C-alpha cells in the first residue's frame, strides 16, 4: 500500500518500494495495544489484519505496507525484526509504534517510549516480496 491518505487534517504520502528498500531512520518509538481479548475484535490494522498483543508488528506513517524492518533500541542495543502492517503513530515526534510483545523484547515496555533506529529489510509479502540489497542486514 502506497496510496496517500489523511489523518486529523494532515496528509501523508507513503514511500515507493524502491525508496523504502534503502530507508533507515532514527526517532522515538512507542508501543500500542490494539488487540482484543480472546479474539473478540477490537481493532484491525490498515491491511485489515487482526492485531494480537503477542504479534511482532508495528505502525509507521510512510513506509509501504507491509514491510519488514530491523528495529534497534538505541538505549540498550536490543534488536528485533518487526512487520509493519499499520499506519501511525499520529502523535508528534514519534516515528514508530510496536505491539506490547515487541516492546517487551526491545526492553522498553515499562517505559512506554524509547529512541530507535529502523532499517527496512524487505517490502511486500509472498511472491511480491522485495528484499533490500544491503546483505549485511541479514544474519
Q: What is the mean pLDDT of each run of 10 residues along the chain (139 residues)?
A: 84 93 96 61 66 86 96 98 94 94 97 97 86 57
Q: Indicate whether 5 belongs to any domain.
A: no
Asked if 104 and 76 touch (Cβ cutoff 8 Å), the reply is: no
Q: Indicate whether 56 belongs to any domain.
A: yes
The H or E element containing residue 18 is helix 17-21
- The residue among 16, 25, 31 whose CA lies nearest residue 117 is 25
pLDDT confidence of residue 120: 97
Exposure of 135 by Cβ count < 10 A (0-12 exposed, 13-18 middle, 19+ buried)? exposed
Q: Indicate whether 4 belongs to any domain.
A: no
Range of the domain at 65: 19-137
CATH number of the domain where residue 127 is located:
2.40.40.10
Specify the pTM.
0.85
- What's the rounded Cα separation, in Å, for the pair 2 and 17? 8
Asked if 102 and 86 touch (Cβ cutoff 8 Å), the reply is: no
pLDDT confidence of residue 34: 63
Q: Indicate whether 77 belongs to any domain.
A: yes
Residue 12: strand pairing partners: 5
Q: Is cis: bond before 122, omega within 30 of 0? A: no
Q: Indicate whether 53 belongs to any domain.
A: yes
How many domains does the chain divide into? 1
pLDDT confidence of residue 139: 38
pLDDT confidence of residue 43: 60
Q: Indicate whether 50 belongs to any domain.
A: yes
Q: Indicate whether 130 belongs to any domain.
A: yes
Q: Indicate whether 14 belongs to any domain.
A: no
C-alpha cell at 91: 502523535
CB neighbours of residue 39 within 10 Å:
9
Question: 79-108 burial, b if ≥16 CB within 10 A, otherwise e?
Answer: ebebbbbbbbbeeeebbbbbbbbbbbbbeb
Amino acid at each position: 500500500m502506497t496510496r496517500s491518505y489523511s489523518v486529523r487534517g494532515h496528509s501523508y504520502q507513503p514511500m515507493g518500494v524502491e525508496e523504502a528498500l534503502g530507508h533507515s531512520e532514527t526517532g522515538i518509538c512507542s508501543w500500542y495495544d490494539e488487540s482484543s481479548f480472546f479474539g473478540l475484535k477490537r481493532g484491525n490494522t490498515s491491511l485489515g489484519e487482526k492485531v494480537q498483543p503477542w504479534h511482532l508488528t508495528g505502525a509507521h506513517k510512510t513506509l509501504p505496507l507491509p514491510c519488514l524492518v530491523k528495529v534497534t533500541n538505541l538505549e540498550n542495543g536490543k534488536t528485533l525484526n518487526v512487520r509493519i502492517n499499520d499506519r501511525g503513530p499520529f502523535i508528534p515526534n514519534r516515528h514508530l509504534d510496536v505491539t506490547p510483545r515487541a516492546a517487551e523484547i526491545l526492553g522498553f515496555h515499562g517505559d512506554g517510549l524509547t529512541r530507535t533506529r529502523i532499517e527496512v529489510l524487505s517490502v511486500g509479502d509472498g511472491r511480491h516480496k522485495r528484499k533490500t540489497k544491503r546483505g549485511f542486514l541479514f544474519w
